[in-house]
Amino acid sequence: MPKFPSKEWAEEYCKALNESEGYKRSARGWVWPILFKVESGGGPSPGFVLKLNNGTCEGVEWYDDSSKAEAPYVLSATLKDWLDIIQGKVNPVTAIVRRQLKVEKGDFATIMRYPLAALEMVKAAQKVETEA
């Protein structure tokens, strides 16, 4: 069972997204990779890039130091906030409004046009068996 965050978890997540009909439908039109960054509060912040394209996940890149990653969209949060979002304790759109989830790079207005895709991403994340 992979832990969050890790390369194995990101790969399982990518598979879960591809198995989600809801994500496929709601993310139509989203064609940009996203870097999911976990703020470390000290040394390098780990993260992974999901290559998202029109409702599918085409691959994963893992970075022990996410500052070396390149992606047009960068979402960052602390580990606790990411876990709250993944576990469904916080709505991802609300997390952005409440500054728990930061859009470090990318067009905010474009992100806000995919609210259902964000919710489907959370549902898919909940299907990944995650080490506590």
E-assigned strands of the chain?
34-39, 47-53, 56-63, 73-78, 102-105
Closest by alpha carbon to 34, among 64, 60, 6? 60
Site of tokens 């993310």: 27
DSSP 55: T
Nearer to other proteins, 64 or 107 (CB): 107
38 binds other proteins (CB under 8 A): no
Q: What is the 3-state secondary structure (H, E, C) of 7-30?
A: HHHHHHHHHHHHCCHHHHHHCCCC
Nearer to other proteins, 6 or 91 (CB): 91
In whole angstroms, the minimum distance from the beta carbon of 118 to other proteins comes to 7
78, amino acid identity: T
66 binds other proteins (CB under 8 A): no
85 binds other proteins (CB under 8 A): no
Which of 32, 119, 123, 127 lies at the binding interface for other proteins (CB under 8 A)? 119
Can you name the residues that pair with 2 across neighbouring β-strands? none
31 binds other proteins (CB under 8 A): no
27 binds other proteins (CB under 8 A): no
Contact 13, 128 (CB under 8 A): yes
Per CB under 8 A, the segment of 10-18, 36-44, 56-64, 100-108 that binds other proteins is: 100-108
Binding residues for other proteins, rule: CB under 8 A, are 26, 91-94, 96-103, 108-109, 112-116, 118-119
